[in-house]
Amino acid sequence: MLKVGLTGGIGAGKSEVSRLLASYGAVIVDADRIAREVVEPGTPGLAAVVAEFGPEILAPDGTLDRPRLGTVVFNDPERLRALNAIVHPLVGARSAELEASAAGADAAVVVHDVPLLTENDLAGLYDLVVVVDASPGTQLDRLVGLRGMAESEARSRMAAQATREQRLAVADLVIDNDGPLEALEPQVRKVWEELRERAGG
């Protein structure tokens, strides 16, 4: 089994690469999606978050009010640490379950989709790291043009992440996603072939 870390800056197109790899047969372990799943209504994770932060972080329908929780933890490192202490172990356990389910398959390629891989110094956890790369100008255009973000918000989100240079420094394979979408698929397929080869199949 080959453990791959997949990362890229916001707006670089990592989600699209992840989707393509899944369509080729990769097992995707999406840390962000798992982080949402472990705090869904009825989970021990949500109960622990409510116990820590109070019922006011719940939306009227009983789901986690992410924007409200975000305002609590965004500018308070102590509260953010408390939240991470609840969520990270749950995400880790679920990720390990998904990986274990793939371990039986010959030549399995397990791709961990990790937005903050560089920032959290996680490259060492993987057999290799794939970075989806786009220039800051392209990232900004996509965030404003495609996601409808205000330019100031897009710039501050980008500034909160690792620099392009820092990401490229941990990359074993780089997917250049500075061009149009149709230029992406052939590159991802080439990377997939290499991953399969390294996984022994």
pLDDT tens-place string over residues 62-97: 999 998 998 888 878 899 999 999 998 999 899 888
103 pLDDT exceeds 80? no
Between CA 52 and CA 148 the distance in angstroms is 33
| pLDDT tier at 105, thresholds 50, 70, 90 | low
Q: Supply the pTM of this predicted model.
A: 0.81
CATH top-level class of 2-199:
alpha beta
Tell me what the mean pLDDT of segment 23-51 comes to: 94
Alpha-carbon distance of 113 to 106, in angstroms, equals 21
Backbone angles phi, psi at 3, to 5 degrees: -100, 120
Q: Which two tokens mark 57?
A: 């972080």
Which pLDDT score, from 0 to 100, does residue 74 have?
Answer: 80
If you average pLDDT over residues 138-163, what whole number do you get? 92
